[in-house]
Amino acid sequence: MRESVTAFIALGANLGDARQTVLQAMQDMGHIPGCTLLAVSRLYRSAPFQAQGPDFVNAVVKLATTLTAPDLLHALQALEQAAGRERSYTNAPRTLDLDVLLYGSASIDSPTLTVPHPRMMQRAFVLYPLAEVWPECVLPQDLQRVQDQPIHRLD
């Protein structure tokens, strides 16, 4: 059996019942064989960033997984498909978007997966929820750098 790796996954949705879709995806990730849900952030609402459409509901989860990074990505893409995800064009509105932010200390650059996520430190909708599940990863200057991006915690 493979050794467990800690992975961080960003969730976002802005079509349909985005809030419920993100909550369901969080729960579903804990049921992926080889994955254990360790922590979940609160939900955030953010305006589309370099995209169009309704506001997004965002969150980040911390997982322990024995899956390889490509297998984890495949499992996450299956959850996106089950939620009705269509990839009609880059940054299109979506029913569910799941991004692998970090996979242990791995550095991966393949045609299908780049880890650490190349733009995660530029996005408030990633940094704020990531700071909840892994505070040591997000520094005050990281949050200051994205302070002009509108984001609101949902209760």
Q: How many whole angstroms separate alpha carbon 68 and alpha carbon 2?
A: 9
Which residue out of 19, 28, 71, 99 is catalytically annotated? 99
CATH number at residue 72: 3.30.70.560
Give the structural domain span for 143.
5-153
> What is residue 148's DSSP assignment?
T
Q: What pLDDT is stored for residue 49 in this prediction?
A: 73
Active-site position among 42, 97, 123, 153: 97
Residue 9: both structure tokens together: 């996954």
Q: Is 38 helix (H, G, I), strand (E, B) or coil?
A: strand
Question: For residue 87, is pLDDT > 70?
Answer: no
Average pLDDT over residues 112-116: 92
User: Which region, left, alpha or beta, applies to residue 49 given φ > 0 means left and ψ of -120 to 50 means alpha?
Assistant: beta
Distance CA 91, CA 109 (A): 20
pLDDT at 7 over 80: yes
Query: Within a 10 A sphere around the Cβ of 72, how many other Cβ atoms?
Result: 25
Instruction: Note if 109 is an active site residue.
Output: no
Q: Which residue has the higher pLDDT, 101 or 118?
A: 101
94 is catalytic: yes
Closest C-alpha to 70, from 108, 119, 29, 38 = 108
| 3 state DSSP class of 30 | coil
pLDDT of residue 41: 98
Catalytic residue chosen out of the listed positions 28, 42, 45, 85: 85
The pair of three-digit structure tokens given for residue 99, joined into one six-digit string: 């991004």
The pLDDT score that the predictor gives to residue 86 is: 64
Give the model's pLDDT for residue 94: 76
pLDDT for the residue numbered 89: 52
Q: Which amino acid is at 89?
A: Y
pLDDT digits (tens, 9 = 90+) for 126-148: 999 999 999 999 999 999 999 99
Number of independent structural domains in the chain:
1
* Beta bridge partners of residue 98, listed in sequence order: 11
Task: Specify whether 97 is catalytic.
Answer: yes
The pLDDT, as a whole number, for residue 88 is 60
Residue 133 tokens read as 């599940």
Q: Which position has the higher pLDDT, 64 or 14?
A: 64
